[in-house]
């Protein structure tokens, strides 16, 4: 009897310890179950991401980028720089899981590969992989793949992030130094922080970065004040110093708030795709206007008049302002041609009004007095000053041949691929 009782006690003790063990084990099981659910959820999210359309349906990361776009760029980049990839095997590679996200960019990959150049340095025996292409051959997704800073070869910090520039763009000394670094270059060099690659692109396609010499009017920055009913002068008593001081304080606070909340997005045109853009040349009595949709010409007008004094040099309208007005037959002819040229330009600009309103960027080269033909408030470009960009290349004549050369220079993009970057795809082996 005692032996049976002892056996029961042992069994109860074993059961107690077993239950105690299971009680400790249960949280681990729950934890494991939760981890498994999280892992499955992550795998499902990743699968959805890969199936999503790259143009914006991907989930943005903390940096404001899109993970799919980063992966797509890295995959396309590997296919571009790899010398073993050619036109014959590219289609097969794009069907593989590692390169599927780059499949929509097949034409651009082939186009960029044609201009790929590998330069070797004799000093350190390093290699530089560079490609020269058009801004229209760069998929918009590439501009969203981690480009977050301006790069300077000789700058102490080598770069200035977009966020840093956005915070300091109202700082005169900061902007002055920034402009000095770019004063002799018609382009900006942008850095992809994920890969270390550099994109050299014309300044005109980078928004929100204005030089003092450019044609944008300073008043546009405070347009929000003019449109606000809060700061209307209708109900203000200008004889009351207290009311005037209070209004001035409110205006300064509004400006400060506007400057600190306005988002700095220099790549917005490149990231959304350049739909329409305009090229205008006007100097020496010659005028040329062309409207593009991407690289395709939609509208073109030109005119040429005899307004230059051949022997003495200079334009007749400028001569009339600085010296005694001449009454020779030649001078009268040049004055009449000036009037006709102005009328024709006004007509052509009116015809192109619809295109100008839709344009993302307007490149204008109109030195000296020619600029007043376009940028005054009553002129066609007066309401679109925020789109106007100076052409930082020399232009000899305002004609079709010169425009063709300028278009090549303006739309040219150079890609410098970082040789030290090894993509996950490359690490696995092609």
Query: What is the token pair recorded at 113?
Result: 């590969």
Closest CA to 101 of 67, 151, 65: 67
3-state secondary structure of 127: strand
- Please report the sign of the dihedral spanned by the C-alpha atoms of residue 96, residue 99, residue 104, residue 106: negative
| DSSP for residue 227 | T
Q: Which of 316, 332, 342, 401 is catalytic?
A: 316
**What's the start-to-end Cα distance of the chain, in Å?**
78
Rounded Cα gap, residues 171 and 259, in angstroms:
11
Q: Hey, which residues does 301 pair with through a beta bridge?
A: 289
Burial class, 31, CB count within 10 angstroms (exposed 0-12 / middle 13-18 / buried 19+): exposed
**Any residues with CB less than 8 A from the CB of 161 and at least 6 apart, and which?**
148, 149, 150
CA 430 to chain centroid, in Å, comes to 32
Q: Hey, which residues does 300 pair with through a beta bridge?
A: 290
Q: Hey, which residues does 85 pair with through a beta bridge?
A: none
Q: Hey, which residues does 297 pair with through a beta bridge?
A: 292
Q: Hey, which residues does 257 pair with through a beta bridge?
A: none
CA distances (Å), origin 382, targets 49, 83, 302, 320, 344: 44, 50, 21, 27, 18
CA 80 to chain centroid, in Å, comes to 22
Q: What angle do CA 108, 114, 116 make, to 5 degrees?
A: 100
Q: Is 185 a catalytic residue?
A: no
Closest CA to 385 of 350, 369, 361, 354: 361
Do 135 and 411 contact (CB within 8 A), yes or no? yes
Place of tokens 């004889």: 239
Helices (runs of H) and strands (runs of E) counted in the chain: 15, 12
| DSSP for residue 133 | E
Query: What is the token pair recorded at 203?
Result: 């300044």
Residues with catalytic annotation?
316
């Amino acid at each position: 009897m005692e032996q049976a009782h002892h056996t029961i006690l042992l069994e109860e003790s074993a059961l107690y310890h077993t239950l105690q063990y299971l009680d400790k084990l249960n949280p681990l099981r729950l934890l494991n179950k939760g981890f498994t659910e999280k892992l499955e959820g992550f795998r499902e999210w990743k699968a959805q991401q890969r199936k999503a359309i790259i143009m914006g349906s991907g989930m943005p990361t903390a940096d404001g980028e899109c993970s799919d776009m980063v992966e797509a760029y890295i995959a396309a980049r590997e296919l571009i720089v790899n010398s073993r990839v050619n036109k014959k095997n590219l289609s097969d590679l794009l069907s593989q899981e590692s390169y599927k996200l780059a499949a929509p960019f097949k034409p651009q990959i082939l186009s960029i590969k044609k201009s790929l150049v590998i330069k070797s340095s004799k000093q350190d025996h390093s290699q530089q992989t560079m490609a020269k292409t058009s801004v229209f051959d760069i998929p918009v997704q590439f501009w969203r793949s981690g480009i977050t800073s301006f790069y300077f070869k000789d700058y102490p910090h080598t770069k200035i992030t977009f966020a840093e520039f956005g915070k300091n763009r109202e700082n005169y000394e900061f902007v002055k130094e920034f402009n000095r670094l770019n004063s002799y270059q018609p382009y900006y060099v942008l850095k992809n922080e994920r890969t270390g690659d550099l994109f050299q692109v014309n300044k005109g396609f980078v928004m929100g970065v204005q030089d003092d010499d450019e044609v944008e009017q300073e008043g546009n920055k405070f347009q929000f004040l003019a449109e606000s009913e809060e700061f209307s002068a209708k109900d203000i008593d200008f004889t009351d110093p207290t009311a005037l001081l209070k209004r001035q304080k409110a205006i300064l606070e509004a400006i400060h708030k506007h400057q600190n909340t306005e988002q700095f997005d220099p790549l917005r045109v490149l990231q959304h795709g350049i739909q329409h853009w305009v090229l205008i040349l006007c100097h020496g009595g010659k005028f040329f206007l062309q409207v593009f949709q991407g690289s395709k010409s939609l509208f073109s007008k030109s005119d040429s008049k005899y307004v230059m004094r051949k022997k003495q040099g200079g334009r007749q309208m400028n001569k009339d302002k600085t010296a005694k007005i001449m009454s020779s037959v030649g001078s009268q002819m040049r004055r009449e041609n000036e009037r006709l040229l102005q009328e024709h330009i006004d007509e052509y600009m009116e015809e192109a009004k619809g295109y100008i309103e839709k344009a993302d960027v307007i490149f204008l080269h109109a030195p000296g007095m020619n600029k007043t033909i376009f940028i005054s408030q009553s002129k066609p470009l007066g309401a679109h000053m925020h789109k106007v960009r100076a052409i930082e290349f020399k232009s000899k004549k305002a004609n079709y041949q010169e425009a063709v050369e300028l278009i090549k220079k303006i739309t040219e993009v150079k890609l410098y691929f970082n040789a030290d970057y090894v993509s996950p795809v490359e690490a696995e082996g092609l």
